[in-house]
């Protein structure tokens, strides 16, 4: 009898908390509750040992927590509160999806449709790492193996056949694109003011692009030296040495945590070290702006501001969002394929005993029912009978499997 779609997939569930229905702080607190004290494995194993789930897959990022699992239990508020030995308020906020809706959501996450940054490919890598970890912990069985593998295939299809990952939305990446538009020489003198996470990313881009003459200035000199060490011609300055710096620059990146402008007209003039501002490039990644408005108005240089980069990022994000409709059609196709694949797998499981049952029938026929008749046969006839029975046995095993598969795909 054919298995209906709802009952076939309804035991798949997702409980999730994302940037769409919670603050990042709330997500972080729930992630800490699951992963704290390196007890994630024990907490997930407990769910399986206590029979709450049959299989479970856990993933978390800075803006998402996701539990994909199979279970025949009712997933309600009581179920949510029992996920952790010591329940916390955030558990009740978990959004519940089941059946095809759960699987569809997983595919949307893998394809970066549901991401805070649409088209962010890193999410697929993160999910694959989580999949491997849960597999190593023996938390993923045949059901979740099928679904998580299909999620990877759907995501790859989206990235290959849409433009959802095109046009950068990272301000650091966009700043480097804007810089390359002005084509500065690879021998340009690069001055970085600030050594926070943003400028760490900037240094990675600079190394990749082949820039080597880099000076880093920071309030913590050790941090400046650490960043400058990544360049053969790198050097470091303490922040208070900027006003007496005589090395000049061709490109200035500035991003500090200061609440007021760092590059005042006076400091900018000092940094020029007697050179003309014409042809200089200044990239301001500070929030609020690190380059004073008076500095920008009073000098003739190319100014790349954070507001300009943000505007470009939003335009590019709009472009990516327009690709979501194409991506959804790809997901719909993969969901149909998943239903067929899973139904076929159910039939394979149900028929896994067929070969052994047929062997048992043959054994009974040879050793009990027709034992006397076979004993009276001459060796040649007995050998022919054995060959015929072996042939029939193989065909009897293969035909039902083939017919069942063909029935599923019709």
Please report, for the chain, the start and end positions of each structural domain, with discontinuous segments joined by +.
12-161, 171-312, 352-407
Question: What does the mean pLDDT of the chain come to?
Answer: 89
Q: What is the reported pLDDT for 403?
A: 64
Burial of 111 (0-12, 13-18, 19+ CB in 10 A): buried
pLDDT of amino acid 122: 84
Considering the entire predicted model, what is its pTM? Answer: 0.69
Q: Distance between CA 375 and CA 254 in Å, rounded?
A: 95
Nearest to 262 by CA among 310, 202, 196, 308: 196
**Structure tokens given for 237:** 């300055």
Measured CA to CA, the distance from residue 18 to residue 61 in angstroms comes to 9
Is 61 assigned a ligand-binding role in the annotation? yes
| Backbone φ and ψ of 380, nearest 5° | -65, -45
| Contact assessment for residue 92 and residue 2, using Cβ atoms and an 8 Å cutoff | no
pLDDT at 298: 76
Torsion sign (Cα): 35, 107, 310, 238: positive
Q: Per residue in 33-52, pLDDT tens?
A: 999 888 999 999 999 999 99
Any binding-site annotation on 62? yes
Give the per-residue pLDDT at 5: 43
The helix/strand/coil state of 213 is: coil
Phi, psi (deg, nearest 5) at residue 275: -85, 160
The CATH number of 12-161 is 3.30.460.30
Cis ω on the peptide bond leading into residue 288 (within 30° of 0)? yes
Whether 126 has a binding-site annotation, put simply, is yes
Low-confidence ranges of the chain (pLDDT < 50): 1-6
Active site residue 62: yes
SS3 content of the chain, % helix, strand, coil (to 5): 55, 10, 30
In angstroms, rounded to a whole number, what is the distance separating the alpha carbons of residues 205 and 187?
15
DSSP-derived letter for residue 97 is E
Cα–Cα distance measured from residue 273 to residue 248, given in angstroms and rounded to the nearest whole number: 5
Which pLDDT belongs to residue 404?
60
pLDDT for the residue numbered 401: 65
The pLDDT, as a whole number, for residue 397 is: 67
What was the pLDDT predicted at 368?
86
CA–CA gap between residue 202 and residue 200 (Å, rounded): 5
16 among the known binding-site residues?
no
18 is in an annotated binding site: no
Residue whose structure tokens are 């820039």: 211
The CATH number corresponding to 171-312 among 3.40.50.1110, 3.40.190.10, 3.40.50.1820, 3.40.50.720 equals 3.40.50.720
Rounded to the nearest 10 degrees, how much is the dihedral formed by the CA atoms of 326, 331, 336, 340? 140
Residue 131 annotated as part of some ligand binding site: no
β-bridge mates for residue 368, sequence order: none
In Å, how far are 237, 248, 268 from 243, measured between CA atoms? 11, 11, 9
Segment 348-387, tens digit of pLDDT: 777 767 777 778 888 788 888 888 888 888 888 888 888 8
């Amino acid at each position: 009898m054919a298995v209906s779609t709802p009952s076939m997939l309804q035991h798949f569930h997702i409980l999730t908390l994302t940037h769409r229905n919670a603050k990042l702080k709330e997500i972080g607190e729930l992630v800490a509750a699951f992963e704290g004290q390196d007890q994630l494995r024990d907490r997930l194993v407990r769910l399986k040992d206590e029979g709450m789930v049959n299989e479970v897959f856990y993933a978390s990022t800075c803006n998402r927590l996701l539990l994909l699992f199979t279970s025949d239990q009712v997933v309600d508020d009581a179920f949510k509160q029992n996920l952790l030995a010591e329940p916390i308020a955030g558990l009740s906020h978990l959004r519940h999806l089941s059946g095809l809706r759960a699987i569809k959501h997983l595919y949307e996450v893998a394809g970066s449709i549901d991401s805070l940054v649409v088209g962010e490919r890193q999410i697929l890598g993160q999910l694959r790492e989580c999949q491997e970890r849960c597999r190593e912990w023996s938390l993923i069985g045949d059901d979740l193996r099928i679904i998580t593998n299909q999620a990877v295939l759907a995501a790859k299809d989206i990235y290959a056949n849409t433009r959802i990952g095109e046009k950068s939305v990272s301000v650091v990446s966009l700043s480097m694109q804007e810089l390359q538009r002005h084509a500065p020489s690879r021998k340009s003198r690069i001055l970085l003011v600030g050594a926070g996470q943003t400028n760490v990313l900037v240094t990675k881009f600079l190394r990749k692009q082949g820039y080597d003459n880099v000076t880093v200035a920071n309030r913590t000199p050790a941090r400046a030296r650490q960043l400058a060490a990544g360049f053969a011609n790198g050097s470091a300055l303490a922040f208070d040495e900027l006003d007496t710096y005589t090395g000049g620059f061709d490109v200035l990146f500035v991003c500090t945590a200061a609440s007021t402008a760092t590059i005042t007209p006076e400091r900018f003039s000092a940094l020029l070290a007697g050179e003309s501002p014409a042809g200089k490039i200044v990239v301001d990644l500070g929030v609020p702006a690190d380059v004073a408005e008076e500095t920008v108005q009073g000098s003739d240089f190319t100014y790349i501001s954070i507001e300009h980069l943000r505007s470009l990022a939003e335009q590019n994000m709009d472009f990516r969002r327009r690709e979501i409709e194409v991506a959804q059609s790809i997901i719909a196709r993969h969901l149909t394929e998943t239903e067929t694949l899973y139904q076929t797998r159910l039939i394979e499981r149900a028929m896994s005993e067929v070969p052994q049952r047929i062997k048992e029938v043959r054994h009974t026929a040879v050793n009990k029912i027709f034992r006397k008749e076979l004993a009276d046969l001459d060796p040649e006839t007995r050998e022919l009978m054995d060959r015929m029975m072996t042939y029939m046995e193989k065909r009897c095993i293969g035909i039902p499997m083939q017919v069942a598969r063909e029935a599923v795909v019709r």
